[in-house]
Structure 1
C-alpha cells in the first residue's frame, strides 16, 4: 500500500480544526440527548428530520433473476452479484448470534449508534486527521455497504468508503445519521436480516445464503456453530480470512469469534474447546449458473428467452441482473432432452453442418424445446454465439409449397385441382434468370426425370413436384397470395442480413418463392406449420408464461401495467376448413411413398413437408401432430463457402424429427387432425390448365437422389 504523504504542520492544524468542527456537529446533532449510566442513545422518532435515500428503503439490492422451466426446475440465473436473499426464519440463529457477538455486541441495546464506541473512534479519527478506527454498529455498516453496493458511479463508490480528512469524518457522521433513522423505521430483526443478506463474504458470495452454499454447500438455515463462526469472521476481511485459500488464518479468526461468543455467555466451555480444536473444514459449492452460457439445459432457448424479455417485454439487463424476478418459461426439459438426443444422433456435435430443431405448441405458441448441435456462447470448434434456433440462415426449400397450397385452397382451388405441367415447365407469369444468366420466362425442373406431368394438389405435395407448384402460382397470378398467407401463418421476412423484406419480395415476383429459397429460421417454420395443426389459429411464439417480482406479484413495465406474458393468438389466419384440409393432405407426405416417410410414427397421425434448396445446399423438414409442430433445418453455416449437405429434406431432417419426437408422441394421448372439409377438397375451380386424364403418379425421387436442378425432395 502506498504510504500516506506527511502533511505540513499548518495543514495538519487546519485539518484538526475542521475535524473538531465536524466532531462537534456529530455530538450536538446526533448524540444528544444521551441518558447517562448506560451510555445509550435515546432519540424520539418524531424528532427525526433525516430522509432515508431510496437504497435504504428498498429490498436487499442485487437479487438474482431465476429462470425456470415449465416443471419448475432451474435453467439459469441472471445476476450482477451472487446473492440469494432469505428471510430471518431461513437463517440459523447461531449465525445471527455469532455475527452480533463479533461485530456489535450491544446491537440490541443501542439506537443505531453506539455512543461509547463512536466517541472512542471519533477521538482517534480526529487525532489521526481521518478515519482510523471503526466503531461502527451493524446498522452503520449496513448503511455503508448498501450505499457502496448500489452506487452507480465511481464517485459514489468512493464517497461511500472515503477515509481521508474532513470528508472521511463527514462520511462517518452521515452514516451515523442514517443509521439512527433506519432504527426508527425497521426492527432489529429486519436490520440484522438485511445486513446478513447484503454483506460480502468473499469468493464472489454476497449474503449469507450464497456464502453458506459457497463455503459449506448448505443452506443458511442449516449452518452449525463451526460454520457460523467462520462466516461471522469473514465480514471484516473476506480475502485474508478466506477458509478456502487461507485455512490457518480463517481458523485464527474463527477462534476469535468463538472466544467472543464464550465471553458473552452464548456458548459453553465444551463448545469453545471442541470447536477451536478442530481444523476449519470447507465443502466448496459452485456458484449458481450465470447467464445462458452456463444454463443447465437448452442454452439456445435461454438466449431466445433472454432476448424476448429484453425486446418483446421491454425489460432491461440491469433489471434481470438485480431485480430478483422469477421467470416462468415454456421449456419442457424431458422434451428438450429428447430433441437433443434425436438431433445429435444424426448431426453430431462439432459437425461441419448445423442442425437446428424447434418445437412449438399449436394453439398457444409456447416454445417447448430448442436444440442446436453446437455449444452456445463459447469460442473455438463446435461453438457459436449465433442462436441458430431463431436466426434465419438458410432456405427451407419445398416446405414453402404448403403456403402456396394454403393460398390456393383459400381461393377455391380444391385438394384435387389437377395440372399438367411437364418438365421443364416454362412459367406463363414469372420471369427469371437461367443457368447461363439469360433473363426471360422462368423455367423450372423437378429433381428426377421420372416425375409424371400430371398431378393434383395433394399428390403434388406428396411427391413434392416443383413444376406443379410453379404452375399453381401461375394459376394464382402472382406470389402475393402465397406470400401473404405465409405471413399470416407466422413467417417473418425482417432479418436485414439474410432475408428480403416483404415489399421486395412482392416487387420481385419471383416464381421460385414456392420453392423456398428465402432464409428461414426453424422457429418461423415450426410456428407457421403450427397454424395448420391448430385449425388455422396462428399464435406468436413465446418462451415465457409469467414474470414475477421479488414479492411474487406479476412484474410491471415502465408504465405500471403488468408485463404482457399471456398467449397472443390470431384465430382465422387460415380458415379452419382450409387448415384441416391441408393437414390431412400433408399426412400423405409422411406416409408410404411420401418424401417425408422417414418421419412416420406408427400408430400416430403425423403430417409434414420436406424441403431442399438448389444444389442440396440446405435441407429442412416441418412436421406436425395435433400437439406439436417441429421445424428442422440442416445446413453449412459458412456464408463464404457453404458445402452441400449431401442429402434432401426427406433424409436427415425427417429422420431427426422421428428420432427426436417418436417416443414423445407415442407416450402422449392419441389425437388426430380434424377431418378435411369436403367443400374445400372439391373446390370451385374445376381442372387446371393443361389438364389431361389423370395417370398414376410416379413415385417420389429416392431420398438419396442428387438432383440436377431445383430438387423436389
Structure 2
C-alpha cells in the first residue's frame, strides 16, 4: 500500500470513528431536547441562552473602508478580505450548488442530519477521499464563525480541535441557530463567511477574486467551481491547480444532476471543459495600498489606536466606514509641489502638512517618499508628525505673540548692536568675552533700530534676543507656543517645563526638534483668530450597521470640532494683529521680507520663515483664513546642510502646493488688526541728557531704568542714547537701558592752537563805533560752540 493510500485510510477511519462516537453521545446528551427522525428541537429557550454573541450577529463584518473627504475610497483595512452581501445579492445557482454538494438535506433538517452524515461517510469511504462533508451547513457555520472570531490562540484551537466535545458543542449551537434564523439567512451567513482561497472570505470576495464579477452574476460553471472549493481551497485552486479544479467542479455538477437541479444538457455542456477564470485584483489593504496620501493614512491609523482607543482588531475586522479629512486635490497638489523642488527619494526630505483653521482637520500630508515599501525611495515613518530638527525663526512668532499679550506694541522699537549680548540669558557668545552671557548675530545686514513688526518679518536675531530680555524670561513664549498647539512630548524633545527651567535665550531661534504637524497646528491658531483646534484626520466612524461607532459609555468615539477646539486659546486681538504683521513677510512691497516666494497673486497670505543652526533644516509656515500649511526640509537620517533659508525651498514648496488651490477660488481677507493690541500698554520714551536726567525723566514716565555701558567713540560716562530709543514706544514698567559710553573708541581731540593776537585797528574817526553793532567782543552771541550733549 502506498503512503498516500495509508494516509487516506487513516483519515477515513478517524472520520468514521468520530462520527460514531459523536452520534452515540448526541443521542444521550440531546435526548431531552430532540426526538423523532426529524430531530425536532424542544425547549429551545435553553439552547438560545447559550448562543455566543458572535453567532447572534446578523452578518459577519466586512472590510473596513477608508474614505477621503470627497467620499472616494482611499484603502481598506482587513484581516480577512470579505464583503458581506444580502441574500438577493447572491445568484440562486450559487446557493443551489453549495447546498447540493455540502448539505443536500439542508432544507429538511433542523441543524443536525444523521442520515446525511451516514450517506457522506459511505460516499467518502467508497471514493477513498472526502467527497462530501459530514457536517451540516449550520454546523459548518458555527465552526467557521467561532474560528474566525477567535481572539486568542486558545479560542482558535478550541474551535478547530478534533474532539467529541467540540462536535457536541457545534451540534448544540447548530440546533439553537436553526431556532433563531431562517434557512435563507443561515445559508447567506455561511456564504458570507466561508473561505474560498486566495485570501477571499465570502462569496462576493470569491466572485471578484476568480471571475471579476459580483456574486449576483455568477453562472452555473462558476458557481459549481466555487462550491467545490469549500472543502479544499488550496488543493482545488483553479489558478494554481486548474486540473484539480475541473475535476472537483464536475463532481459538483454531477451531484446537481443527480438531484435534478440541472439537466443532462447543462451537464454535458460544461463537464470535461477546462475551468475558465478571470482573476481580479484583491482590494487594497492597509496604507501601503492607499490610492493617495499613504503617510496621511499611516497617521490616521496611529490616531485611531492612540487617540481614539480603537484596537487593531476593530480596525481590521470591524467592517467600519472611516470618513477622513484628506482632500484629494490638496494632497495631489502637495505631492507635486514637493517633487518640484526635491526628487523622489532625495536624501533631503520635504514635508508639506496642511490643516484647516477652526476645525483642525488635517487636509494633506506630502513627502518626497513612497510609503511603506522596501526600495530606497520609501519610508515607513510618518515624517510629517515626528520631531527631528529645529524650525528656526518660526519660533519668533511665539515670542512676538507673548510680547503683544504682555502689552508691547507692534511699534515697540529697540536699537541693538550686532552682535547683541543678552542681559538676562546665559550661554555661548561665539568666542566673545561676555561674562557668560548669551549673544547672537544677525544673518546679514540689518538696521540697528527696528520696531516689532519690521523685526518679525525681517527676522532680526538681535532684536528678538533683546525682546526676550525685555520679557525677562522665556516662560511666557513657551506657554504661548503650547497654547497655540505646540507639543514638546516626543521622546527626543525637550519638555516645556525643562525649557522654562533652563531659561535658554535661544528659544526664539527654534533650536528644538519640531513636528511639522505641530508647527502647522500652532500657526493654524493664528489663522483661526485665536481658536486652537487639536489636529484630526477623521470626521466620522460608522460601525458595520452604519451607525456612529461609540465608546463604552455610548458616546461617539470621534469628537466634533467643537469638542476639539478651544476658543480664545490666545487673545483674538493678538492673533488678528499678528496676522496683519506676518502678511508683510509674504505679500509684495515690504523691504527685507523673507517669505516673498510663497506669494500667490490676488490673495492675502501671512507667513514666517525659519532656518535652524548650521542650516540642518529650513521651514516655512504660511496661512490664509481658510488654510494653514507648514513646510520643513531636512535630512531625516543625519545632519546635512540643506542650503539656503526658509524663504527658499520652504516658501517655494508652499507656493507650488497652494497656488492651484487658491487660484481656483476668490480671495478671503484677514480680519483687521486690533488697535488696542497694536498700540499696546505703551508710552513714548522721552529724550534726556545725562544719567541723572535720564533716570528722572524715564521713571516719571512710568518706566524702570538700568544703566549699561556700550562701545562708543564718545567719552566714557557720556549718555549715548537709550534702548528703546527716545521717541519710540515702550511698555509701562518696562526696563529702559540708559546706554553710557565705555570710552572704548574714544579719541582725545587734538588741542586747537591759540591764534596770535590781531594787530590793533587804526584809530577810528571821531564818532565811529567801529561797526560793532553789539558793542562787545568779536563773535559774541554764537553760543561758544557748546554741543549741549556731553555733560
Q: TM-score, normalised by structure 1?
A: 0.89
Quote how far apart the aligned CAs of 1:118 are: 2.7
**Kept in 1: contact 2:334–2:366 (CA 8 A):** yes
1:431 aligned residue (407, 420, 426): 426
Given that 1:214 and 1:286 are in contact with CA atoms closer than 8 Å, whether structure 2 keeps it comes out as yes
1:678 CA displacement: 1.9
Corresponding position of 1:653: 650
In structure 1, the partner of 2:625 is 626
Shift of residue 19, structure 1, vs aligned partner = 8.3
Query: What corresponds to 2:776 in structure 1?
Result: none
Instruction: Quote the Cα distance in structure 1 between the aligned partners of 2:413 and 2:432.
Output: 32
Q: 1:540 to 1:611 in 2, by over 3 A?
A: same
Unaligned segments of structure 1, at least 5 residues: 696-713
Matches within 5 A, 1:247-286: 247-276=242-271, 278-286=273-281
Q: Deviations over 1:130-166 (max 9, x none)?
A: x998421111111122222233444443443334xxx
1:440-488 C-alpha deviation (Å, 9 max, x unpaired): 111111111x211011111112211111111111111111111111100
The answer to whether the Cα contact below 8 Å between 2:101 and 2:252 also exists between their aligned partners in 1 is yes
1:597 corresponds to 2:596: yes
How big is the shift at 1:399? 0.7
Deviations along 1:256-280, whole A, 9 cap, x unmatched? 2223333333334443333336532
Question: In 1, are the aligned partners of 2:594 and 2:609 still within 8 Å (CA)?
Answer: yes
Distance 1:329 1:353 in 2: 29
Q: Aligned equivalents of 2:597 and 2:369: distance in 1?
A: 24
Name the structure 2 match of 1:678: 675
In the TM superposition, what whole-angstrom CA distance separates every residue of 1:228-271 from its partner, at most 9, and x where no partner exists?
Answer: 22111110111111111111221222222223333333334443
CA distance in 1, matches of 2:190, 2:40: 23
Distance 2:491 2:171 in 1: 57
What residue in structure 2 maps to residue 81 of structure 1? 80
Which residue number in structure 1 is paired with residue 640 of structure 2? 643
1:201 maps to what in 2? 196
Q: Do structure 1's residue 109 and structure 2's residue 105 form an aligned pair?
A: no
2:676 matches 1:667 = no
The structure showing larger relative contact order (alpha-carbon pairs under 8 Å, at least 6 residues apart) is 1
Measure the CA separation in 2 of the matches of 1:360 and 1:425. Answer: 37
More off after superposition, 85-94 vs 154-163: 154-163
Structure 1 pair 115/411, CA: closer, same or farther in 2 (3 Å)? same
Counterpart residue number, 2:458: 463
Q: Which residue among 516, 539, 542 is the counterpart of 2:533?
A: 539
Q: Give 3-state SS (helix, strand or coil) of 1:147's partner.
A: helix
Question: Relative to structure 2, which stretch is displaced further, 43-52 or 202-211?
Answer: 43-52
Q: Pairwise mapping of residues 503-652 of structure 1 onto structure 2 (< 5 A)?
A: 503-567=497-561, 568-592=564-588, 593=591, 594-639=593-638, 642-652=639-649
Distance in 1 (alpha carbons) for counterparts of 2:349 and 2:627: 22
CA distance in 2, matches of 1:302, 1:35: 57
Q: Per the alignment, in what secondary structure is the counterpart of residue 520 of structure 1?
A: coil
CA distance in 1, matches of 2:333, 2:615: 27
CA gap 1:252/1:16 in 2 versus in 1, 3 angstroms: closer
Compared with structure 1, are the counterparts of its residues 153 and 315 closer, same or farther at alpha carbon in structure 2 (3 Å cutoff)? Answer: closer
For the 8 Å contact 1:258–1:276, the answer to whether it is kept is: yes
Q: What residue is the counterpart of 1:186 in the other structure?
A: 181
Q: Which is worse superposed, 434-443 or 338-347?
A: 434-443
What residue number does 1:479 align with?
Answer: 474
The range that moved more, 436-445 or 370-379, is 436-445
The one of 367, 371, 375 equivalent to 1:376 is: 371
Q: Does structure 1 conserve the Cα–Cα contact (< 8 Å) formed by 2:542 and 2:548?
A: yes
Distance 1:5 1:231, change over 3 A: closer
Write out aligned runs for 1:240-251 (5 A): 240-251=235-246
* Cα shift at 1:96: 1.4
- Between the aligned partners of 2:137 and 2:210, the Cα distance in structure 1 is 23
Contact preservation (8 Å) 1:64, 1:81: yes
CA gap of 1:16–1:210, structure 2 versus 1, over 3 A, is closer
Cα distance in 1 for partners of 2:20, 2:114 equals 17
Q: For the aligned residues, what is the CA RMSD? A: 2.9
Query: Which runs of structure 2 are paired with 1:325-404 in the superposition (5 Å)?
Result: 325-404=320-399
TM-superposed CA distance for 1:119, in Å, is 4.2
User: How many pairs does the alignment contain?
Assistant: 677
Superimposed CA distance per residue, residues 74-99 of structure 1 (whole angstroms, 9 cap, x where no aligned partner):
22222221112222222222221221
**Structure 2 length-normalised TM:** 0.81
Asked whether 1:40 is paired with 2:35, we answer no
Shift of 1:378: 3.0
Query: Would the alpha carbon gap of residues 693 and 270 (structure 1) be closer, same or farther in structure 2, given more than 3 Å must change?
Result: farther
**1:664 aligned counterpart, secondary structure:** helix
Partner of 2:234: 239
Quote the residue 1:53 is aligned against.
Answer: 52
Q: Which structure has the greater CA radius of gyration?
A: 2
Q: Is the contact made by 2:352 and 2:366 (CA closer than 8 Å) also made in structure 1?
A: yes
